[in-house]
A and B are shown apart, each in its own frame.
Chain A
Amino acid sequence: MLDRKNKPLLIFGLVVMFIILVPLVLVVITSFGNQPTISLPIKGFTFEWYKNILQQPDFVDGFKMSLFVALIASFSALLIGIPAVYALTRYNLQHAEWFQSFFLSPTLIPEIVVGFALYQTAVISFKLPLLISLLVGHFLLCLPYVIRLVSASMLILDPHIEEAAWVSGCTKGQAFFLVVLPNIKASVIAAFMMCFINSFNNIPISLFLNGPALNMLPTAILNYLQNNYDPTVSAISVVLMIFTAVMMWVVEKFLGVNKLVK
């Protein structure tokens, strides 16, 4: 039987886990190598490449810009998405399901096409500044996560407790912020984290919407990697992995990492 005691399954499981982890471990090892190009096994041991990250304005500015864009895009997706979810789940609208699919439709369009099309509409036709267009692109990436995760928990939440708050004298606004929001808090945080991580890591949308003065970290690493092959890339990768691990730890502390994928 395929349970814990099945030997072939155990071996298979361990081998695949090994394949999943080893590539990332290799990246960590190469970041400490002494040679000017990436090679394994490494000779010597140095933190030089980590210092070199700070010498790369593309990486430093890119990190700040990616952080900024991810925060703004995630917050605006929550700000615009949550009211829409509330309307869809609480007003018995006639075409609620249609609206739901409409809001999820950006996921059906390949990310590279979102960036490509948005460049022509927002930047060329509407003459919007590049930064605004980039934020719009990342907002479109984030919105479906908010719609999906928050509406799942709104549907579970009993509408009567909100009505009870109205009867007890709360205005609609007070009832939402004092009663509804605390009850869907976990899904709002999960949605925010998914938005943030996906926006921060995104390349295809940013590809058409960045420029010399508007540098995102993932595209900066991509460009660097296409022109250089030194351990600076390994070092910045390790920094980003630590960043990811810290975020996962924070999520685990507050609501359990498994919430992110449910």
Chain B
Amino acid sequence: MRKRSAILLLLPAFVGVLIFTFYPLIQIIIPTLNQSSDYGKLYLEFLKSSYNQTVIFRTLAIALFTTLVVLVLGLPLAIWIARQDEKVRKLLSVIILFPMLTNAVIRNFAWIIILGKNGVFNDLLLKLHLISAPITILYTNAAIVIGSAYLFLPIMVTSLVGSITELNIETEEAAAVLGAGAMTNLFKVIIPQLTTGILTGCILVFAGTMTAYTTPQLLGGNRHLVMATLIYQQAMTLGDWTNASVVAIILIILSVVIMFAINKLMKKLDRRKVNA
């Protein structure tokens, strides 16, 4: 009786996820395998093309650079915010949260204004006589990295501020008394205590950037496709739904494998800390 009511409560959510998440996945996998007697043929063909290799490599490289930029900007900012009085910290957290909840199109659009041929950035460089003609930044890989970093920075900062606030500042005071400078303190005291928080943030940023559609679409243009925009192009522009499925499956596998690997790394580093 008890068991039956538990099953009844679970059933709608279970059936919903099963039918609309797992069944569709199986449905897109099957045609990619059944094209010929050779099961992996479509995947091998896809991976052999140098164009596709470039797209996969670009996707991974953009995600990697974005994660690095977000980490380098986000960690010191998070430390700075976490070390303020509670009132200031709350205010700053709300300011950080605002872009996070603002639509991605708007945040990308802001960077179109800045990075365009006649944009704010080129204007500034021209006025400072650093360049003599506008440079192309919009519709390059760099623009995608900048836009993605802007998109994901608040997420990294919010997730780090929490764990930094919990750190015991006396540990750093002790290190300072013993002669550690700010940099030594950062790398030898703060960062080792934050590995879990940092890697969790990195998973979010890496996986998020890697699978994002809007930013590469708006800031990368048609010549800088990543896997997410390639799926859309294959399906909607070229009408090749099987090939789009191949890209989709590879994207899922890649992102899950990378998330799993960072998770493993996190557990390993955590264990070392316990043993030490």
Does B259 belong to the interface (CB within 8 Å)? yes
Residues of A within 8 A of B (CB-CB), count? 83
Question: Chain B interface: which size bin?
Answer: 35 or more
A240 to B79, CA, bound (A): 30
B207 to chain A, nearest CB (A): 8
B27 contact set on A, CB distance < 8 A? 117, 120-121, 125
A221 contact set on B, CB distance < 8 A? 103, 105-106, 109
B154 contact set on A, CB distance < 8 A? 20
Does A102 belong to the interface (CB within 8 Å)? yes
Q: A110, A111, A203, A257: which has the most chain B beta carbons within 10 Å?
A: A110
Q: B109, B214, B251: which has the most chain A beta carbons within 10 Å?
A: B109
> Does the CB pair A258–B169 fall under 8 Å?
no
> Does the CB pair B9–A121 fall under 8 Å?
no
Q: A19, A38, A122, A204: which has the most chain B beta carbons within 10 Å?
A: A204
> Does the CB pair B90–A247 fall under 8 Å?
no
4-33 of chain B: CB within 8 A of chain A: 5-7, 9-10, 12-14, 16-17, 20-25, 27-28
> Does the CB pair A207–B213 fall under 8 Å?
yes
A99-B14, A120-B241 in contact; A13/B111 too (CB < 8 A)? Answer: no
> Does the CB pair B93–A24 fall under 8 Å?
no
A204 contact set on B, CB distance < 8 A? 212-214, 228
Does B248 belong to the interface (CB within 8 Å)? yes
A121-B20, A225-B218 in contact; A241/B118 too (CB < 8 A)? Answer: no
A110-B228, A143-B16 in contact; A83/B9 too (CB < 8 A)? Answer: yes
> Does the CB pair A16–B103 fall under 8 Å?
no
> Does the CB pair A110–B251 fall under 8 Å?
yes
B190 contact set on A, CB distance < 8 A? 2
> Does the CB pair B252–A84 fall under 8 Å?
no
Chain A binding surface, main DSSP class: helix
227-262 of chain B: CB within 8 A of chain A: 228, 231-232, 235-236, 241, 244-245, 248, 251-252, 255-256, 259
A23-B107, A120-B28 in contact; A244/B102 too (CB < 8 A)? Answer: yes
93-137 of chain A: CB within 8 A of chain B: 93, 99, 102-103, 105-106, 108-114, 116-118, 120-122, 125, 136-137
Binary contact track A197-229/B, C-beta < 8 Å → 1, others 0: 100010110011000000000100110011000
Residues of B within 8 A of A (CB): 2-3, 5-7, 9-10, 12-14, 16-17, 20-25, 27-28, 73-74, 76-77, 79-81, 83-85, 90, 92-99, 101-107, 109-114, 118, 120, 123, 150, 153-154, 158-159, 162, 169, 172-173, 176, 182, 185-186, 190, 210-214, 217-218, 228, 231-232, 235-236, 241, 244-245, 248, 251-252, 255-256, 259
8 sampled A-B residue pairs with Cβ under 8 A: A2-B186, A9-B79, A106-B21, A116-B235, A139-B20, A218-B105, A237-B110, A241-B98
Residues of A within 8 A of B (CB): 1-4, 6, 8-10, 12-13, 16-17, 19-21, 23-24, 26-27, 30, 38-40, 80-81, 83-84, 86-88, 91, 93, 99, 102-103, 105-106, 108-114, 116-118, 120-122, 125, 136-137, 139-140, 143, 147, 197, 201, 203-204, 207-208, 218, 221-222, 225-226, 233-234, 237, 240-241, 244-245, 247-248, 252, 257-258, 260-262
Contacts A24-B107, A121-B24 supplied; 20 other A-B pairs, CB < 8 Å: A1-B185, A2-B172, A9-B182, A12-B77, A13-B76, A21-B95, A23-B114, A81-B13, A84-B14, A87-B9, A93-B6, A103-B14, A105-B17, A116-B245, A117-B27, A117-B28, A201-B102, A237-B103, A237-B110, A244-B103
